[in-house]
């Protein structure tokens, strides 16, 4: 079993990540911690094969945690699980030796794919010895890359989905379909379709809002 340490400050998201990991064959959760300091203390007394590392922790940045582990001689593999989209942060993650980068919000299928790719990467190498040649190295690193992006339902585009997600995350109180349409420049029907897709995949939650009369309007709030 591949032992995973989940580092995530949000309690709900942390439990979701725990559940996701436990659903993937060959993986088990060693522990769930909610700060960088807790993550470092964990490795003083225990071990893990892989860390799912949020970057925006209450006491420090996830990259600082990664660098501290490396400075202590800990070469545990790390998958970044974060909302950080800044190119400089992505480049820094590569420099810190992070093997995968998963942007929030994401579906179970997205995390499952990353974990399965990581498992194939581990299987490509033995515990010791030498590689047979360049082709073996190339195959191992290729296992970490997704050959095809996860397919969206027919008629949906990644660009529009990103726009809706950005608008939703910019409004902590949530958005209605109409407000999302205004923010993204698509029709209300289109906005609702994307919002429903996010809700169905656990990336947003539905909240009824009651007005003066009639049926409540459904609003959508981004899941952290």
Where are the chain's structural domains? 2-144, 158-222
Confidence band, pLDDT 50/70/90 cuts, at residue 96? confident
Q: Cα dihedral angle (115, 119, 120, 126), rounded to 10 degrees?
A: 160
pTM score, whole prediction: 0.66
Burial class (CB in 10 A: 0-12, 13-18, 19+), 79: buried
CATH class of 158-222: mainly alpha
Residue 148: the pLDDT is 43
Q: What is the largest CA-CA distance in the chain?
A: 73
Residue 94: the pLDDT is 86
Instruction: Compute the average pLDDT of residues 58-73.
Output: 94
- Tell me the fold of 2-144: Rossmann fold (3.40.50)
Mean pLDDT of the chain: 86
């Amino acid at each position: 079993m591949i032992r995973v340490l989940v580092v995530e400050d949000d309690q709900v998201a942390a439990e979701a990540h725990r559940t996701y990991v436990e659903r993937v064959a060959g993986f088990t959760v060693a522990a769930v911690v909610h700060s960088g300091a807790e993550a470092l203390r964990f490795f003083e007394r225990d071990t893990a094969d892989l860390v799912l590392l949020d970057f925006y922790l209450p006491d420090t940045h996830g990259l600082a945690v990664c660098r501290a582990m490396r400075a202590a001689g800990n070469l545990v593999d790390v998958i970044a699980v974060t909302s950080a989209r800044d190119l400089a942060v992505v480049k820094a993650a590569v420099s810190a030796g992070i093997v995968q980068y998963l942007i929030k919000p994401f579906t179970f299928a997205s995390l499952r794919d990353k974990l399965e790719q990581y498992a194939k990467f581990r299987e490509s190498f033995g515990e010791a010895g030498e590689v047979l040649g360049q082709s073996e190295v190339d195959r191992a690193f290729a296992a970490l890359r997704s050959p095809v992006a996860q397919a969206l339902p027919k008629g949906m585009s990644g660009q529009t989905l990103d726009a809706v997600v950005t608008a939703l995350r910019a409004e902590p109180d949530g958005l209605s379909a109409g407000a999302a349409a205004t923010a993204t420049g698509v029709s209300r029907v289109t906005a609702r379709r994307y919002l429903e897709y996010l809700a169905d995949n656990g990336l947003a939650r539905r909240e009824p809002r009651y007005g003066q009369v009639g049926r409540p309007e459904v609003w959508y709030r981004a899941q952290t």
